Amino acid sequence: MDPVHVPSIPAASFPLPPRLEGLRRLAYNLHWAWHPATRNLWSLIDRTAWTRYRNPIPVISGPTEWSRLLDDEKFLAEYHDVLASFDRYMANGSDHWFHRRYGSALDGPIAYFCAEYGFHESLGIYSGGLGVLAGDHMKSASDMALPAIGVGLLYRKGYFRQSIDADGHQEHSYPDYDLTRLPLSRVQDASGLPLTVTVELPGRDLTVAVWLAQVGRVPVLLLDTDTPTNADYDRPITNILYVRGREMRLHQEIVLGVGGVRALRALGLAPSVWHLNEGHSALLLAERAREYVEEGQTLDAALARVRSDSVFTIHTPVSAGNERFDADLIRRVAGPLLDSAGVPVERVLQIGLGVDGDPGQFDMTAFSLRLTSGANAVSHLHSETANSTWQGVIRQPILGLTNGVHAPSWIGSPIVELLEDLGANLDDLDASLEAGRFWERLERIAGRDLWDAHLRQKRELALFARGRLRSQFARHGEAPAVLAELETALDPDILTIGFARRFATYKRAGLLFSDMERLGRLVWDEQRPIQIVFAGKAHPADRPGQKVIQEIFQRSRSPELRGRVFILEDYDMRVGRFLVQGVDVWLNNPRRPLEASGTSGMKAAQNGVPNVSVLDGWWDEGYEGDNGWAIGGRETNPDEAAQDWQDAQDLYQLLDEQIIPSYYERDASGMPLRWVAVMRRAMATALWRFSTTRMLHEYTERLYLPASGVAVARADAAPVVTEAG
């Protein structure tokens, strides 16, 4: 099947020189988000605008000296090279893995539903790991020419922007995005008019506008209720990601599930497989059942049809991460829509009964598990936890399909250049797999070259962080002398530990501070000092998580740690890239087994940054003894305080006896030979095994094709049998 085409028109209209008209299609395809040559083109056009916005639309729509560029032969040559490469990418696809093996297997696309997508920091419709994983999923589907289409929501105020005040309190602000300055297009219907769909709510009809984010070959539909045809009280439904109010959240998820199905139908699309990435979109299953009931099928037959070609990914073992609503709220808000369509709300509530059997709650995860033919957790350990948690709900085991990351989005340019010298093509890992597995030839990279590439990325992190910290502390009113100290912050010669993720309490961001005297000795050791950089957000409703941020900030400004511990505010994809590329070691210390996967550690490892982590999530299967370090073992103590103390002692011991000595032990040329050996192993064990390309192979063969009715014979795994009824 060919890639899906969605007709659309860019959100903004502005003139371009006829000779440079190709810039428009480059700008309105997020392909540039993972292609440095295209990003460099935007910088050549207007470096100031690109540096400020990191988004090509303001670059090419604002006042630009086109005459200067049209007279610049070097720029024109670069433009034509980039455009030709993009056009080849978009035209090609038949020689990729999916088309060679399964090109005729699907009659329709894979429809992928998710509440958030992290494509690039300029499009703030993501909060963290789930969205970034969804973005990487779409990018790799594009690279692999997988016939897919995404569905999500367009949050005009996005997720919150974070600032940290002088006392360490997290403050929240919500931007008001101007859609005409974003790489978005308005989807058109069959007559060329802007496409809208209607979702019935109690006492009124809601109009939902459909926008397009084109991600390489993959279109992603984004649904928007902020339209003039809606009442003022309905327009904000899709404004804010993970809005706090439960009733507003339910409205969002009705729009995502019901509106998403209707948007696909309005475009004439009949997906072969429906993939729910987390339970937020669960009501798409009820909407699809409504379609079959309207065709004349019984409700039981309709539910069986829906189940047969739907699959579900669960992302968290933490109960708070599994969406639940009061049953009475479902009855009041969704009941009229469901009942009028022949899908009784009481039957929906029965299917959504949680493992605790509480009839007063509707569990979106339980509902999704019961109405899908296959489900997966996001690591092997997570599958064990999920199967235990949902034992009374599941009809068959939840598979362990470990997450991956999209290498071109996360590996720094200095490391990429070394990999390309080995023959790597990060845009097509399938070709690299068949041509000789470059990740198995990393010993061919000279140790000095690998170390120098890492130091380059480390210096880039230091320069970026100093600028962020200066702005942060200037806003706090710090003295010029204090701001001047930041000129030497994050010294690249010092062992640097990175910790960046959502500040949920189970992730134990403050574990390193368990013994302040011992930590103080480590950071200020005259011969072998360490420094630590933190970043991350806590949800506006998560007061305990916000308290962790405050405590870390206050520790970072204490006399014992000031100048060695830093926290960067407003964590986003850009901050994340600098950190996973530039620190020396990546720290992750959740309470086992509460970390479902943890893709930030994969990104670090692919950059040659070893992990020191609790054996949880991906690291439980990724740790091999020579590619990083494990905190503690696989046993857990029910006494959380005792477990925290023991894990802290294990971490201090690893730092003292293994990590710090390995880093500072140098040969005559100043090379840390033992450290570079661990860096190589971190990369070798992560580049393929924890890539979204490998992940999509497994999704395709173990979920998508079985759900579409295609039998798949795999040499490396037992066949998966799915139920249709």
Q: What is the residue type of 96?
A: H
User: How high is the pLDDT of residue 574?
Assistant: 97
**Averaged pLDDT for residues 129-144:** 97
Let me know how long the chain is: 725
Whole-number Cα distances in Å, 128 to 132, 503, 535, 584 = 6, 11, 12, 22
User: How high is the pLDDT of residue 715?
Assistant: 43
User: How high is the pLDDT of residue 124?
Assistant: 95
- Last-in-domain residue among 50, 65, 91: 91
Residue 355: HSE in the Cβ half-sphere, 13 Å Cα cutoff? 13
Residue 57: HSE in the Cβ half-sphere, 13 Å Cα cutoff? 17
3-state SS record for 611-671 = EEEECCCCHHHHCCCCCEEEECCCCCCCCHHHHHHHHHHHHHHHHHHHHHHHHHCCCCCCC
Residue 467 domain-assigned (yes or no) = yes
Band (pLDDT 50/70/90 cuts) for residue 341 is: confident
Residue 338 domain-assigned (yes or no) = no
User: How high is the pLDDT of residue 718?
Assistant: 36
Please say whether the beta carbons of 274 and 111 come within 8 A.
yes
User: 3-state DSSP call for residue 9?
Assistant: strand
Q: Which two tokens stand for residue 321?
A: 């991460």
Q: Which two tokens stand for residue 400?
A: 């362990």
Residue 196 domain-assigned (yes or no) = no
Give per-residue pLDDT as tens, 167-216. Answer: 999 999 999 999 999 999 999 999 999 999 999 999 999 999 999 999 99
Q: Determine the Cα–Cα distance for residues 163 and 476; give it in Å rounded to an integer.
A: 11
User: How high is the pLDDT of residue 617?
Assistant: 96
Q: Determine the Cα–Cα distance for residues 90 and 28; give it in Å rounded to an integer.
A: 13
Structural domain of residue 518, as residue ranges? 457-690
User: How high is the pLDDT of residue 333?
Assistant: 97
Band (pLDDT 50/70/90 cuts) for residue 717 is: very low
Residue 287 domain-assigned (yes or no) = no
Band (pLDDT 50/70/90 cuts) for residue 600 is: very high
**Averaged pLDDT for residues 295-306:** 97
Q: Determine the Cα–Cα distance for residues 583 and 492; give it in Å rounded to an integer.
A: 9
Band (pLDDT 50/70/90 cuts) for residue 710 is: confident
Would you say residue 712 has pLDDT above 80?
Answer: no
Helices 673-686 and 599-606: angle between axes, nearest 10 degrees: 120
Would you say residue 580 has pLDDT above 70?
Answer: yes
Residue 400 domain-assigned (yes or no) = no
**Averaged pLDDT for residues 281-308:** 97
Q: Determine the Cα–Cα distance for residues 263 and 269; give it in Å rounded to an integer.
A: 9
Residue 638 domain-assigned (yes or no) = yes
| Maximum Cα interatomic distance, the chain, rounded to a whole number of Å | 80
Q: Which two tokens stand for residue 542?
A: 């998560």
Band (pLDDT 50/70/90 cuts) for residue 93 is: confident
B/e letters for 99-116, b = 16+ CB within 10 Å, e = fewer, are beebbebbebbbbbbbbb
Q: Determine the Cα–Cα distance for residues 176 and 693; give it in Å rounded to an integer.
A: 35
User: How high is the pLDDT of residue 92?
Assistant: 76
Q: Which two tokens stand for residue 66?
A: 């086109």
**Averaged pLDDT for residues 454-467:** 98
Would you say residue 725 has pLDDT above 70?
Answer: no
Would you say residue 723 has pLDDT above 60?
Answer: no
Please say whether the beta carbons of 123 and 183 come within 8 A.
yes
**Averaged pLDDT for residues 219-236:** 98
Whole-number Cα distances in Å, 643 to 81, 634, 635, 638, 647 = 56, 12, 10, 8, 6
What one-character DSSP code corresponds to residue 38? H
The values of phi and psi at residue 501, to 5°, are 180, 180
Please say whether the beta carbons of 270 and 107 come within 8 A.
yes
Q: Determine the Cα–Cα distance for residues 255 and 263; give it in Å rounded to an integer.
A: 10
**Averaged pLDDT for residues 550-573:** 96
Please give the span between the terminal C-alpha atoms of the chain, in angstroms, as a whole number. Answer: 27
**Mean pLDDT computed over every residue of the chain:** 95
Would you say residue 22 has pLDDT above 80?
Answer: yes
Overall domain count for the chain: 2
**Averaged pLDDT for residues 107-130:** 96
Residue 245 domain-assigned (yes or no) = no
Residues in CB range of 560: below 8 A, 6 or more apart: 516, 519, 520
The values of phi and psi at residue 113, to 5°, are -105, 130
Omega within 30 of 0 (cis) for the link into 593: yes
- Of 710 and 377, the structure prediction assigns the larger pLDDT to 377
Give per-residue pLDDT as tens, 614-668. Answer: 999 999 999 999 999 999 999 999 999 999 999 999 999 999 999 999 999 999 9
Would you say residue 320 has pLDDT above 70?
Answer: no
Q: Determine the Cα–Cα distance for residues 25 and 115; give it in Å rounded to an integer.
A: 26
Token pair 């599994």 is found at 322
CATH of the domain at 669: 3.40.50.2000
* Percent residues over pLDDT 70 in the chain: 98
Q: Which two tokens stand for residue 585?
A: 């070691």
Residue 183 domain-assigned (yes or no) = no
Please say whether the beta carbons of 501 and 512 come within 8 A.
no
Q: Sort strands 324-326 and 361-363 into parallel, antiparallel or unpaired.
A: antiparallel
User: How high is the pLDDT of residue 353?
Assistant: 96
Q: Which two tokens stand for residue 102?
A: 């399964």
Q: What is the residue type of 713?
A: A
Q: Which two tokens stand for residue 572?
A: 């986003």
The values of phi and psi at residue 691, to 5°, are -105, 155
Q: Determine the Cα–Cα distance for residues 313 and 617; give it in Å rounded to an integer.
A: 15
Q: Determine the Cα–Cα distance for residues 535 and 551; give it in Å rounded to an integer.
A: 13
Band (pLDDT 50/70/90 cuts) for residue 716 is: very low
Q: Determine the Cα–Cα distance for residues 634 and 192; give it in Å rounded to an integer.
A: 58
Give per-residue pLDDT as tens, 658-699. Answer: 999 999 999 999 999 999 999 999 999 999 999 999 999 999
